[in-house]
Structure 1
């Protein structure tokens, strides 16, 4: 039995986020964050050789986390984008520092991913999450890497089996 690619991708994304959502709920840790969405989408919609797979996904997010943390500690330390923009005024030094932190995080991440061949564009959201102070501690960085590894591991161990058994693997990678 096979089903429509669009529906199968929806089923696969559901499996990924039920798993991580339950882990986040049970642990009380931020195992769900915005950049996991594009990564789960890539895995759910079929094999993308330049952006999918453990090396690309885990490696890309790890590089992004390290580069974002480095940029944040160098330029934006102590600031959180939601707080800064809550009371921001034009030309504030806080907004300027976060803008530079984001720029530095993106440049470092882009160069490092290209040099390492990880090429996982979704990780660019991770570097901004970290560089803008949303998840910018060493513990947060560890949570990011563990969460990404759990997502990839769950995909490889469980979602792939469901795809094979029930015919819900997209035939046309997007």
Structure 2
């Protein structure tokens, strides 16, 4: 790891999260959620990985959203209480398992692997964010993260190639 990365990477990742969090604060919408952390990490710290490319981030999360909603429908878990400190209802377990399996299958099939997409599928299948409005907010935040992060990812990738 280069010395400047110790300072630059945390600042860049924090900036990506901050812009989206501020957007959520201003719009009173939950634009910040678990999938964005690993996505910011990949964009900044592993820019050369295929999973950090826009196609993988966007397609992977779209697949995750679809897989989670399909799993909720198939298991009937949508009306079951979401995960809480009291536990995980059985139908939510099956919805999460099915959603994760379908997400991995879909991302592999479409060459859109994206580890953070599994966070997205769990957010939905476990009932944390399971409405169509939530799905739209997730997609909007993913698109914002990708649009802001892609120029930084390309710059980091070129910078690393020059340093080798």
TM range (shorter): 0.7 to 0.9
Residue 95 of structure 1 aligns with which residue?
Answer: 89
1:28-87 deviation line (CA, Å, top 9, x unaligned): 11110001100100011141332111101111111101101111222211124334x52x
How many residues align structurally? 159
Q: CA deviation at 1:171?
A: 2.8
Look up the match of 2:49: 49
Q: Larger radius of gyration, structure 1 or 2?
A: 1
Q: Contact 2:16–2:145 at 8 Å: present in 1 too? A: yes
The structure whose residues are more often helix, as a share, is 2
Distance 1:13 1:109 in 2: 25
Equivalent residues in 2 for 1:44-123, closer than 5 Å:
44-75=44-75, 76-83=77-84, 85-86=85-86, 88=87, 95-123=89-117
Query: What is the TM-score normalised by the length of structure 1?
Result: 0.82
Deviation at 1:142, TM superposition (A): 1.1
Counterpart-to-counterpart distance in 2, 1:21 and 1:95: 30
Q: CA deviation at 1:170?
A: 6.5
Q: Using the alignment, how far apart are the partners of 1:82 and 1:102 within structure 2?
A: 11
Find out whether 1:171 has 2:163 as its counterpart: no
Confirm or deny: 8 A CA contact 2:65 2:121 kept in the other structure.
yes
TM-superposed CA distance for 1:156, in Å, is: 2.8
SS at match of 2:41: helix
d(CA) in 2 for partners of 1:62, 1:30:
18
What whole-Å deviation, never above 9, does each CA across 1:77-112 have from its counterpart, x for those lacking one?
1124334x52x5xxxxx7210110001001110100
2-structure distance, mates of 1:82, 1:160:
34
Deviation at 1:160, TM superposition (A): 5.8
Q: TM-score, normalised by structure 2?
A: 0.86
- List alignment gaps of at least 5 residues for structure 1: 89-93
Corresponding position of 1:91: none
> Which is bigger in relative contact order (C-alpha 8 A, separation at least 6)?
1
